[in-house]
Amino acid sequence: MTIYDISEKAGVSIATVSRVLNGSSNVSEKTKKKVLDVIRQYEYTPNAFARGLGLNTMKTIGIMCADSSDLYLAKAISYIEQLLRANDYGSILCCTGYELETKAASMNLLITKKVDGIILVGSNFIYEREADNQYVTDAAAQVPVMLLNAALDVPNVYSVVSDDFTSMYEATLQMIRAGVKDIVYFYNSTSYSGKKKLAGYRAAMEEKKLPGGSLMQFYSGSHEDIPAMVEQLKKLHRRGVSFHGVIASDDTLALAALKYARESGLQVPRDLSVLGYNNSMLAMCCDPELTSIDNKLETLCQHLTTTLMGVLGGNEMPKKTIFSGEIIKRGTTR
């Protein structure tokens, strides 16, 4: 018996069941009785976030990320943990890696720890195949699940995302308008977010009737192996592919493009324009400083935490919220 079942048998929404479990006064006595009757009939034992039935909340949120050494994910975790502490919640962090089996095992571990909710940090937790997302759906039947920069339309899952498609589309158009038309797209992820970024680049190139196929470069190595990233761009050049712009899916790849330019005797941005993504601290650790897309990570984390607190309080909260990114122009683009 899950809150889905209670919702269906009582003929009310999951949010209403949550409000009853949390003891919210924003529920009529008639509706509250209907929900409690179902709970008693089926001997449902709510998890620890059901404050309204006399159980004490664990005041703990589970956080899952693939790799905490990744700058973007590490920063997101830092923001989220600070915000949770400000709301008197602790956290349990699981670094899952990228295999589905390990992600599902970590999810189950957090459920057994009776956490009040689960936050999935990063877009690689959501898959194209519906069956591969079942582990998220199953968890959401027991606790609220929050997605940072990914989306899944199932009950009790809430998404806060950056509009990566539009950000990358506008960045590509901006570089084209500056006179750079042979633009390499250098990327390292095919996650939910990664596909949105790639689609934005392709849409802009197609709109301007520019070739993009041979210029799309997928890097599959370690995110810490800068020399390997540089070598991939050198190999592209040795194959006779001409390019005067690089748009990267993250700032690390963009720094590799700058290193490629320096080692190849190219001046930035005169000979090679470079644009990164995430507007991380790396953007100001190079000369010239890196033009990068600010995907508003801190704002995303703030809204995600506010949404989670609202859900745990039994309030109706938006299922999906989208924020726009911003191009922060510095010295690596014309």
CA torsion through residues 11, 12, 14, 17, sign: negative
3-state DSSP of 73-115: HHHHHHHHHHHHHHCCCEEEEEECCCCHHHHHHHHHHHHHCCC
- Residue 84's pLDDT is what? 98
Question: What is the rounded average pLDDT of the residues 8-29?
Answer: 81
- Residue 1's pLDDT is what? 62
Question: What is the rounded average pLDDT of the residues 245-257?
Answer: 98
Question: What is the rounded average pLDDT of the residues 180-188?
Answer: 97
Peptide bond into 288 cis (omega under 30): yes
Question: What is the rounded average pLDDT of the residues 252-265?
Answer: 98
User: Alpha-carbon distance 130 to 128, whole Å?
Assistant: 6
Q: Could you give the percent of the chain with pLDDT greater than 70?
A: 94
- Residue 51's pLDDT is what? 40
Q: Is the pLDDT confidence value at 143 over 90?
A: yes
pTM of the full structure: 0.85
Question: What is the rounded average pLDDT of the residues 208-223?
Answer: 93
Using pLDDT thresholds of 50, 70 and 90, give the confidence band for residue 50.
Answer: very low
User: Alpha-carbon distance 223 to 205, whole Å?
Assistant: 26
**Residue range(s) occupied by CATH 3.40.50.2300 in the chain:** 59-162+297-326, 164-294
User: Alpha-carbon distance 114 to 136, whole Å?
Assistant: 16
Note the CATH number of domain 1-57.
Answer: 1.10.260.40
- Residue 7's pLDDT is what? 84
Residue 67 three-state SS = coil
Question: What is the rounded average pLDDT of the residues 221-247?
Answer: 97
**Residue range(s) occupied by CATH 1.10.260.40 in the chain:** 1-57
Q: Is the pLDDT confidence value at 44 over 70?
A: no
Write b or e for each residue in 9-18: b if 16 or more Cβ atoms lie within 10 A of its Cβ, otherwise e: bbebebbbbb
Residue 332 · residue 288 · CB < 8 Å = yes
Q: Is the pLDDT confidence value at 196 over 70?
A: yes
User: Alpha-carbon distance 203 to 161, whole Å?
Assistant: 20
Q: Could you give the percent of the chain with pLDDT greater than 90?
A: 80
- Residue 48's pLDDT is what? 41
Q: Is the pLDDT confidence value at 123 over 50?
A: yes
pLDDT tens-digit readout, 267-310: 999 999 999 999 999 999 999 999 999 999 999 999 999 999 99
Q: Taking all residues of the chain, what is their mean pLDDT, rounded to a whole number?
A: 92
Using pLDDT thresholds of 50, 70 and 90, give the confidence band for residue 22.
Answer: low
Q: Is the pLDDT confidence value at 251 over 70?
A: yes
- Residue 197's pLDDT is what? 98
Residue 11 three-state SS = coil
Pick the CATH number of 59-162+297-326 from 3.20.20.70, 3.30.2420.10, 3.40.50.2300, 3.30.300.280: 3.40.50.2300
> Among candidates 165, 186, 168, which has minimal Cα distance to 248?
186
Taking domain 164-294, whether its CATH number is 1.20.200.10 is answered by: no
pLDDT tens-digit readout, 88-121: 999 999 999 999 999 999 999 999 998 999 999 9
DSSP string, 183-214: EEEEE---SHHHHHHHHHHHHHHHHTT---GG
Please indicate whether residue 32 or residue 290 has the higher confidence score (pLDDT): 290
